[in-house]
Structure 1
Amino acid sequence: MSADVTSPALPTRYRSATEWSERFAKPMLALAGRGARMRGEELADLESALLRRDELAADLVRAVREEHAVTMPQFRAALADGVEPDAPAALTRFFAALEARPDWVDDELLERGGAAARRIGKDGFDILAFGSLLGGYRSGGALQPLVRTGRIGEMTLQRVGETGQWWLACTSPGGMQRDGEGWKLSVHVRAMHGFVNYQLERDPSWDAEFRGVPINAHDQAGTIGSFSTSYLLQARSLGIRIPAADADAIMHLWSYVGWLMGVEERWLPRTERIGRRVLGNVIAGFSAPEESSKLLGAGLIGMHDHAPGISPLRRRYERERSLSMATYLNLGYGMKDVGQPARLPWYPAYRVVSNVLWSHVVGRLPGGTGLLDRRAERALGRMERLQYAGSRPPIAPVPA
């Protein structure tokens, strides 16, 4: 049964900074249109999601940590090659649930969505970093799992690189098939989240009364929304043309990715309007920025300070470029939430002019889509060489 709106069982961070969170949520709710505000049972279910963990992953973790029925080598082998007939029951249940793909999943839409997302090119990675990630850091309520697992400071470039690898894998041709790298990395992340929850929920210092479940269904719905719904809105704000059919396919792709990673089906962003509505209501419940917001924000803006082989001048340029893009994507006032100075949108202005020319003019010409695809792949390659000297960082392992 869903918790009542006034139930003391809800984490106290929920709507603890109403004036601030309503300002944050207002643009997204306005774009969602009439009936955007959730009420009654629907709102109560979203609120109580702060208290719900991914039980499928939790069962697997208990089988590893408490029952010692599953080993990590067995998990890794099943992830890579499939479950053996004599595998432990808990491992079989976990993968059987994930391999039972929902009927609504359409392979053609997955492929189209991946291609359309990659076509956005390097701008897409700026949106992920300074729109999706930095925008999420503006509220401190969900940040403690990141802080407590040490994924900050000099580790920021590594963490962003891991997120980028996952994104590239999910959007690559065939990436979301069972043997695709996107499918495997999404399941890897789901299991890792299960281990983080297991550890933090048993940590005496975890403030469950304020924060709820560490990685919970409410925050997961917001995260998948930031990778899909707000991603498309911010791409358009940079002058990128995204045809309606491509936008629908991108939402379809991230709905499946979200389902695979444990987002509750009710909150999946199946369409842009649904995504805007869910994300707007999630944001309306956000708590205020915390010290962790500033800590993570500083790490993200300064991530190129730790990139190998970059000159001091280039590092300074990348920092200023990052601040300019972040200011634009977070509507200026959002920079205060993460403790970073606002900058004039000189870099977004350049990107808008370039993107209007390429996506609205060149992209409409015969062969234009293929040209945009090749241009985007080259840009992604240059970005990788800049940030990692051509060597992608390894994905963080699932805790043993």
Structure 2
Amino acid sequence: MVARFGSGGAWAERAARPLRLVAGPGARPTADDLAALRAALLQRDEPGATLARALLTDRTITQAQVRDALADPGAAAPAPVEQFLDTVRVRPSWVDDEQLDRGAEACRTFGFDASRVLAYGSLLGGYRTAAALEPLVRTGRLTGAETARRIAETTEWWRAVTAPGGLRPGAEGHRLTLHVRVMHAMVNHRLEADPSWDRAGRGVPINQYDQASTLGVFSTSFLLHLRLLGVRVSRADGAAVMHLWSYVGALMGVADRWLPHTERRGRRLLYHLLAHDPPPDANSVALARALIDSGAPEPRERALSVATWLLGPAALRDLGLPPRPPWFALSRVASNVAATHVAGRFPGGHRRLLARAERQLRHSQAAGRHPHT
């Protein structure tokens, strides 16, 4: 058994309680659920691990060959790369292109508030537990200039995934997702070979448990936090967003056992994961402060206002951050209720919301920055 599992005790149960309350009846994990959670801490992405070994140990291929193959999945590639690509060429039978398109469009329609939610709900909330932070620390991507770079890379990937047709083979979202998977596999390979890595305490460096949790913050908690900011997310749009991110998870090497698929399943999974996570540590505090102080996508006081509203004062105190009155968050709630619950329901309303969001996106890309308004 990995020592970190369940080490959060009463803290973890308190932190996970809001998820339990929205997960529906019978949400507490069964004995089988607990056994699967424990096992997931020792499970890696095996196709990715095989490719990483060919790159880093066997040296039978180069990173340039991998990059070329990801850019053009139909081109001939060395055998280790072909074997890896074979695992994603045949899509799962449940993948539906119409649902992928609807999920991507829904994400784009949420506009600037999607960036706010990703930063101060999803990413910041993920830092509240020390579960998956050690690999990030070991790669030197903790604070300083690396914070802005990490946020920019995450934003670029999110935009590529949610672009029209972004997950078609050869599209930028598909390519970047597989690139991230290969990078994760390489980091995992190096850390597993490092004698200082505490496998008994932490499990496999990049494991299925933590990958499932990360996927949950981009899907399940993303939708919950959007609604907290007053954004109307229809049942159909919510289902499509979960479908989109479940396919992203499959491309990332997350086993089907840990894909959310539906909002209800996603809430249960995220509750089970958080309820057995370790509490925050010094890395949590350093990452949280770096994110808030980075000014992306909001200046500090706005960021703290939104974070307090989405995560609650206790979460901010866990992260060494000062809670703030939700003045800016409530202004977004009022604006989003008017735009999405009222104006968005009129004929052509959805089209106008999407057009506005895409204008905002083009403006922020042209300016080379995240939105501040």
Provide the TM-score with structure 2 as the length reference. Answer: 0.96
Residue segments in structure 2 that go unaligned for 5+ positions in a row: none
Decide whether the 8 Å contact of 1:138 with 1:334 is kept in 2. yes
**What SS does structure 1 have at the residue aligned with 2:299?**
helix
Q: Pairwise mapping of residues 1-400 of structure 1 onto structure 2 (< 5 A)?
A: 10-82=1-73, 84-85=75-76, 87-151=77-141, 152-304=143-295, 318-384=299-365, 388=369
Q: Secondary structure at the match of 1:11?
A: coil
Q: CA deviation at 1:382?
A: 4.2
What is the CA-CA distance between 1:81 and the residue it aligns to?
A: 1.0
Secondary structure of 1:277 counterpart: helix
Report how far residue 41 of structure 1 moved: 2.0
Q: What one-letter code is carried by the residue in structure 1 that aligns with 2:359?
A: R
Q: Do the aligned partners of residues 283 and 387 (structure 1) sit closer, same or farther apart at CA in structure 2, a change above 3 Å counting?
A: farther
CA contact (8 A) 1:140 1:293 kept: yes
In structure 1, C-alpha distance between the alignment counterparts of 2:171 and 2:78, rounded to whole Å = 24
1:102-129 deviations in whole A, cap 9, x for unaligned?
1110000000000001111111111111
Distance in 2 (CA, whole Å) between partners of 1:287 and 1:132 is 18
Contact 2:56 2:186 in 1 (8 A): no
SS at match of 1:24: helix
User: In 2, Cα distance between the equivalents of 1:84 and 1:184?
Assistant: 14
Give CA deviations for 1:243-266 in whole Å, capped at 9, x if unaligned.
111111000000000110011101
SS at match of 1:64: helix
> Aligned equivalents of 1:386 and 1:267: distance in 2?
38
Look up the equivalent residue of 1:20 and give its one-letter code.
W
1:204 is displaced (CA, Å) by 2.1
Give distance in 1, aligned partners of 2:67 and 2:365. Answer: 27
How large is the Cα RMSD of the aligned pairs? 1.6
Residue 219 of structure 2 aligns to a residue whose secondary structure is helix
- Identity score, percent: 50
Alignment match, 1:393? none
Question: Residue type of the partner of 1:380?
Answer: L
Inter-partner Cα distance in structure 2 for 1:146 and 1:376? 32
Once the two structures are superposed, residues 150-174 of structure 1 have per-residue CA deviations (whole angstroms, 9 ceiling, x without a partner) of 2222211110111111111111101
Following the alignment from structure 2 to structure 1, what is the Cα–Cα distance between the partners of residues 282 and 266? 29
With normalisation by structure 1, the TM-score equals: 0.89
Q: How far 1:380 sits from its partner (Å)?
A: 2.9
C-alpha distance in 2 between matches for 1:328 and 1:389 = 21
Contact 1:83 1:92 in 2 (8 A): no
CA contact (8 A) 1:153 1:296 kept: no
Quick one: distance in 2 between partners of 1:234 and 1:389?
Answer: 19
Question: Aligned AA for 1:186?
Answer: T
Amino acid corresponding to residue 351 of structure 2 in structure 1: G
Q: Partners of 1:239 and 1:224 in 2: how far apart? A: 23
User: Quick one: distance in 2 between partners of 1:59 and 1:337?
Assistant: 38
Give per-residue Cα distances to partners, 1:147-196, cap 9 Å, x unaligned. Answer: 12122222111101111111111111010000211110100000000011
Unaligned runs of 5+ in 1: 1-9, 308-314, 391-400
| Displacement of 1:89 | 2.0
Q: In 1, distance between residues paired with 2:370 and 2:360?
A: 14
Question: How many residues end up aligned between the 2 structures?
Answer: 370
How big is each residue's C-alpha offset from its partner over 1:253-307, in whole Å with a ceiling of 9 and x where there is no partner? 0000011001110111110000001110000111011000011001100112xx7
- Native 8 Å contact 1:15 1:287 kept in 2: yes
Q: CA deviation at 1:386?
A: 6.0
Which AA in structure 2 matches 1:359?
T
CA shift, 1:29, in A, is 1.5
Q: Equivalent residue for 1:394?
A: none
- The structural deviation recorded for 1:133 is 0.7
Q: Distance between the aligned counterparts of 1:345 and 1:385, measured in 2?
A: 30
Check the 8 A contact 1:154/1:299 in 2, yes or no: no
